Amino acid sequence: MRNLVFRISYDGTAYHGFQCQDGQITIQSELERVLKVLTGEDLRITGCGRTDAGVHAIRYYFNVHTNSPIPCDRFVLAMNSLLPSDITVSDCREAEEDFHARFSPKYKTYVYRILNQRNPEALLCNRCYFYPIPLDVEKMQDACEVIIGEKDFKCFMASGGQVKTTVRHVTELTVTKKGAEVEIRISANGFLYNMVRIITGTLMQIGIGKMTKEDLREIIDNKCRKEAGMTVPPHGLYLYDVYY
Amino acid sequence: MRNLVFRISYDGTAYHGFQCQDGQITIQSELERVLKVLTGEDLRITGCGRTDAGVHAIRYYFNVHTNSPIPCDRFVLAMNSLLPSDITVSDCREAEEDFHARFSPKYKTYVYRILNQRNPEALLCNRCYFYPIPLDVEKMQDACEVIIGEKDFKCFMASGGQVKTTVRHVTELTVTKKGAEVEIRISANGFLYNMVRIITGTLMQIGIGKMTKEDLREIIDNKCRKEAGMTVPPHGLYLYDVYY
C-alpha cells in the first residue's frame, strides 16, 4: 500500500477547524470527500495536528494510505480542481510506510499576526487580530528569552488539553514589527492546547505595560493558567511550517 | 449642511459590488444602513465610482451631505464598530460644499494581481487571479508604452458602458513581478467599463506569446473589443487610490 504525504495550505475562515466533526464542514472532511471522488476509496487521512476554527495554515502536512495508482503530480492537479479555492495542495510525494504526519514532526513553527494601528483594515479582517492599543514591541521581544527553552508550560495550556506532560521545548520565539503589523513567530517540538494564542496574549500584556518580564517568569514557575494573558482570537494564527 | 468625505477599504468578496441594487447586499447599502443608525437620517452617499462584485478597494472615497453634529473622528470609530469587518473606514473629514467624490477626481489608480505559478494558493484565493501558464513579464512591460497616453480606448470597453466619449488619458501603466505574483498598475483620468480587466487580459495574451506589441497597436486603432483579450475575473482587481 502506498503512503502518500501531501503539503497543503488553507484559509481557515470558513471551516470548523481541521479535524472532522459530525455535521460540520472541516478541512479534513473536504479533503476526504475529494480523495473519495478521486480514488473511490473511503480514506482516512492523518493530519500533522488539529487547528481550531478560523486558524490558517501556510504549510500543513497530512499522510494517507491508499491503493490508488494515480501519480503524485496528478493528485495535486486533480485535488486543486476539486477542492474549494480556500484549500490548496502544493505537493504530494511517496513516504516511507511508517511515516506518520502527526507523530513524526521534529518541530513546528506558528506565526501570529496582530494589526496594531488605530483603525481596522478590511483586507486583513480575517487574517490579523486588530488591536488598536500601541504595543511596545521591544519589551515584548525582550521578554521572549524567559519562554525560550525546555520548560513546563502548563500556564499556557487551555483547559481541555489532555497530555501526559506539559513540558515542551520552545526553540524560537521572536516579535517583529512590519509596518503596522506585529508578528510573533514561535517554534517548538510540540504545542499544548491554545499555547501559541495564550503566549501571544501574555506577550501583549507586556506590550501594553500591564505585565513585566519578571511577572512572566513567575507565571511560568507557578504553572497557573489564570495568571497568564488571554487567549487571542484564532484568525491571527497561522501554522507556518512543520519539520520532519 | 456639512459635506463629509470618507476614505474606506473593502474586501469585495461578499458583496454585489459597490452600488445599491434592489435586494442585494452592496458596499453602499451597508454604508447607508450604518449611517442611518448613527445619524437618524436617510442619507444617500456619493461614491467615487462603481466597482463590480468581487472587486476590492484599498482607498475608496465617498461623500455625504448631513446635518449630523457627530465629530469626524467619532464617525470613524462608530462606523468601524457597526460595519461588517470587511468594510473599514480609515478617515473622515469636512469637504467644500461642492466636493463630489465621483466627478472631482483628477485620476485614479487600479492594481490587478495575478498569481502566476503552477499551483493555486489558498490564502490568495479571493485576492489574486490564479493563472498557471508562465507569463513573460518583460514582454508585457514593453507593450505598456502602446497604451500610455491620451487615446480612444473603445477596444477596452465592455458592452453596457454608456459614455459620451471613449477617449481616456492613461498616465501610468506598469507590469511588475513580485515573487510568484505579477502586478499590473494603471492610472488614468477615467476608466471605461471593465477597462482595467480587459487591458490586463490583453497584456496577458502578450505575456503568453499569443499577441504582439504591434497587434496591440492595431487593436487600439481598430477600436474593436473582439480583438482585445478577455475580461479577467474581478477578484484580482483593487481600486488602489483616487487623487482629487
If 0-12 CB within 10 Å is exposed, 13-18 middle and 19+ buried, where does residue B6 land?
buried
Cβ-based contacts under 8 A for chains A and B: 62
Q: Does A46 score more than 80 pLDDT?
A: yes
User: Contact A56/B88, CB-based, under 8 Å?
Assistant: no
- Cβ distance B57 to B64 under 8 Å? no
Report chain B residues touching chain A, CB-CB < 8 A: 8-11, 56, 58, 76, 80, 85-90, 119-123, 125-127
Q: Does A133 score more than 80 pLDDT?
A: yes
Q: How far is A223 from chain B (nearest CA, A)?
A: 36
CA atoms within 13 A on the CB side of B208: 12
Q: Give B-chain residues touching A58 at CB under 8 angstroms.
A: 123
User: What is the model's pLDDT at position A172?
Assistant: 97
ipTM value of the model?
A: 0.92
Q: Does A101 score more than 80 pLDDT?
A: yes
The closest of B161, B175, B168, B228 to B199, measured between CA atoms, is B228
Q: How far is B91 from chain A (nearest CA, A)?
A: 9
Name the pTM for this structure.
Answer: 0.94
Residues of A involved in catalysis: 52
- Cβ distance B119 to A76 under 8 Å? yes
Domains in chain B, please, with CATH?
A: 2-94 (3.30.70.580), 107-243 (3.30.70.660)
- Sequence-separated (6 or more) residues with CB below 8 Å from residue B177: B137, B183
What stretches of chain B show up as alpha helix (H) in DSSP?
27-39, 72-82, 137-147, 195-207, 213-222
In whole angstroms, what is the distance from residue A171 CA to residue A109 CA?
10
Give the number of other CB atoms < 10 A from CB of residue B134.
11
Tell me, what amino acid is at A62?
F
In whole angstroms, what is the distance from residue B167 CA to residue B52 CA?
22
pLDDT in tens, A137-170: 999 999 999 999 999 999 999 987 678 999 999 9
User: What is the model's pLDDT at position B26?
Assistant: 97
pLDDT (mean) for A43-57: 96
pLDDT (mean) for A63-71: 97
User: What is the model's pLDDT at position B161?
Assistant: 65
Q: How far is B161 from chain A (nearest CA, A)?
A: 28
Report chain A residues touching chain B, CB-CB < 8 A: 8-11, 56, 58, 76, 80, 85-90, 119-123, 125-127
User: Contact A125/B88, CB-based, under 8 Å?
Assistant: yes
User: Contact B122/A76, CB-based, under 8 Å?
Assistant: no
User: What is the model's pLDDT at position B23?
Assistant: 87
In whole angstroms, what is the distance from residue B22 CA to residue A78 CA?
39
For residue B148, which phi and psi values (nearest 5 degrees)? -65, 135
In whole angstroms, what is the distance from residue B244 CA to residue A136 CA?
36
User: What is the model's pLDDT at position A161?
Assistant: 65
User: Contact A122/B76, CB-based, under 8 Å?
Assistant: no
Interface residue of A31, A76, A117, A125 to substitute, partner B, most B CBs within 10 Å: A125
CA distances for B174 relative to A102, B177, B192, angstroms: 46, 10, 19
User: What is the model's pLDDT at position A104?
Assistant: 85
Nearest-CB residue to A125 (from B11, B121, B123): B11
Q: Give B-chain residues touching A126 at CB under 8 angstroms.
A: 85
User: What is the model's pLDDT at position B160?
Assistant: 73
The residues of chain B scoring below 50 in pLDDT are none
User: Contact A119/B88, CB-based, under 8 Å?
Assistant: yes
